[in-house]
Homo-oligomer: A and B are copies of this chain.
Amino acid sequence: MNNNFGYAAYDAHTPLRPFDFPRREINAQDVLIEILYCGVCHSDLHQVRNEWRGATFPIVPGHEIIGRVIETGGAVNRFKTGDLAGVGCMVDACGVCPDCQSDQEQYCDHTVFTYNSPDKHTGLVTYGGYARQIVVDQRFVLHISDKLHPAAVAPLLCAGITTYSPLRHWNIGRGDKVGVVGLGGLGHMAVKFAHAFGAEVVLFTTSPAKVADGKRLGADEVVISKNPEDMQKHLQSCNFILDTVAAPHDLDQYLALLKRDGCLCLVGVPDHSHPSPSVGNLIFRRRSVAGSLIGGIRETQEMLDFCAEHNIVADIELIAMQAINQAYDRMLKSDVKYRFVIDMSTLEA
């Protein structure tokens, strides 16, 4: 075991603070990454406050990791020292189940998440990217283009793939009208991707202050969802709505905006259920409510390559590691445009 260092939540109620923890030796298939940047995802906050339950403290959060390869195991053939590399929400999966075999490791029953997941190597839990280094099996490491600023690429590893994957799965493109609910870390990426895929994009937000930004990011129209008259104008007009809001809210107002066979896809996990949607809203237009979880490694690489080709990154605010607790407070108030990213060079400042 080697020494690692990062920031951890020691329990569900106190601020994150410095944490020394072990890092495993690299195995033949492993890549050792010196972390440059780590995005701050709302699920980091859910987990450190144990809102999804199942927390094993201390937790070192962080699953939007960009770094540089500084050492590789003997069997590593996909990375070499000096490469820019990314790690997202997963660091392992069984590899043999139908989900893994079809490049959908995120749905495997044995997915090992990047933090707060049982770690077979150490017998402890996995520790994430709010840290100096991370060791990951090369199968779960992504190639990162040097064309884009790596700090702004970091959020693609979770916010990016979480929105890219459902838009691809539901074949969104030219000729489609797509709704995006919420303009946060996920929502702003959803707007960028849906626009890049050629769809007509309508952003639904509760915040009038976000109208201009929504348009700048690629929305053709921004609707204040608290205004029933404005919502009415979009009744039965959308093919697909990607709902990025994790707080419980009324799904029927969005179901009503879908055409026949339209799908309302949820990517936020609320700590309590949404109010139950009306069965009539499903039946009378053969609509559906679905969910989608991040994306597989192969698709994550495809998304990163697409972003490099189309010059797509997240809009970020770069912070020092020591500012993480204030960043959480601001995130809770949706006061971030649109993703905090930790500059890991500040870790030991």
Binding site for B on A (CB under 8 A): 98-99, 104, 107, 169, 260, 263, 266-270, 273-293
Instruction: Give, as a whole number of angstroms, the nearest-CB distance from A281 to chain B.
Output: 8
User: Knowing A282-B290, A291-B286, A293-B284 touch, does A275 contact B276 (C-beta < 8 A)?
Assistant: yes
A-B contact pairs, 27 of them (CB 8 A): A98-B260, A99-B260, A107-B260, A107-B286, A266-B279, A266-B282, A266-B283, A267-B283, A268-B279, A269-B283, A270-B279, A274-B279, A276-B276, A280-B291, A281-B291, A282-B290, A283-B291, A283-B292, A283-B293, A284-B291, A284-B293, A286-B290, A286-B292, A287-B290, A288-B288, A288-B290, A289-B290
Cβ–Cβ contact A287 & B283, under 8 A: no
Please name all residues of chain B whose beta carbon is closer than 8 Å to the beta carbon of A292 when the two chains form the complex: 283, 286
Please name all residues of chain B whose beta carbon is closer than 8 Å to the beta carbon of A291 when the two chains form the complex: 279-284, 286-288
Instruction: Give, as a whole number of angstroms, the nearest-CB distance from A96 to chain B.
Output: 15
Cβ–Cβ contact A274 & B274, under 8 A: no
Cβ–Cβ contact A277 & B288, under 8 A: no
Residue of B with least CB distance to A292: B286
Residue of B with least CB distance to A293: B283
Please name all residues of chain B whose beta carbon is closer than 8 Å to the beta carbon of A267 when the two chains form the complex: 283
Residue of B with least CB distance to A52: B280
Residue of B with least CB distance to A109: B236
Please name all residues of chain B whose beta carbon is closer than 8 Å to the beta carbon of A279 when the two chains form the complex: 266, 268-270, 273-274, 291
